[in-house]
Amino acid sequence: MQIFIDGEFYDEAEAKISVFDHGLLYGDGVFEGIRVYDGRIFECDAHIDRLYDSALAIALDVPMSRADLIEATCETVRRNQLENAYIRLVVTRGVGDLGLNPSKCPKATVFIIAATIQLYPEELYQNGLKIVTCSTRRNDPQAINPAIKSLNYLNNILASLELRGTGADEGLMLSAQGFVAECTADNFFMVKDGVVHTPATGVGALRGVTRATVMRLARELGYQVAEGFYTLYDVYSADEAFLTGTAAEVAPVVSVDQRPIGDGTPGEITVRLMERLAEYARSSGYPVAKS
């Protein structure tokens, strides 16, 4: 495996960053998880836009232009000879001292990994996921805004730890006010009376790239799409539910807190959106190959 670090490529065993990098010491940095389908980067512009927006929010200067960053991402995929891949694009605050002050880090670190990923086994896409509500609440936007896709994922990890021994496939996180926010690794959707609903980003949901794509595709298919503030009552009484994410794509949910959603099988609209996203992903995107 070839990994990009600050303008150079290294074999996996030789790819290293400093133990004084503030991304490691403090989770000070931002990242994107990006998919490649049939040699094309899925929603490339949206991912790069979000990376720069997240960096701007934490006053982190990305030391590469957009064009150079996209080319480095493509070259990482090319060097690893991947037609279908999962890319992890990371920008850290860079090397500093053991103090917290980010101004002690003169230059950010950029590294890019291109590999493969499968978040859920295939049978869960056919039969649906069973999820439970976590007691860990989603970060408050007034503290650590979940809109920033930062390297600090401890909030999500603490929620994910609650799944141990439960038999659940994912965990649903609520805001401090008790509204549905998102899952530990994915955005959350539900369908009621033919309307596709998803929590508003203001409640603590990440502005997911796949989330936005699915919302657009649903509207193109003729479905009404709504963003709002929802409680567990809305979830339990939904006709369908599903998750979206770069790694998860569209994954059906058939049970929440041991309550069946709809008839307990993947819903009709969910399945249609799964198929439509797959079609869209294979027929669009930024080409990895040099023109």
What residues act catalytically? 149
Alpha-carbon gap, residue 240 to 218, rounded angstroms: 14
Instruction: Give the distance from CA 148 to its chain's centroid.
Output: 11
Residue type, 259: R
Closest to 102 measured CA to CA, from 21, 41, 220: 21
**Distance between CA atoms of 130 and 128, rounded to whole angstroms?**
7
Contact 194, 269 (CB under 8 A): yes
User: Angle 49-52-54 (CA atoms, 0-180°, nearest 5)?
Assistant: 105
Work out the number of other CB atoms within 10 angstroms of the CB of residue 70: 18
Both structure tokens of 214: 């699915």
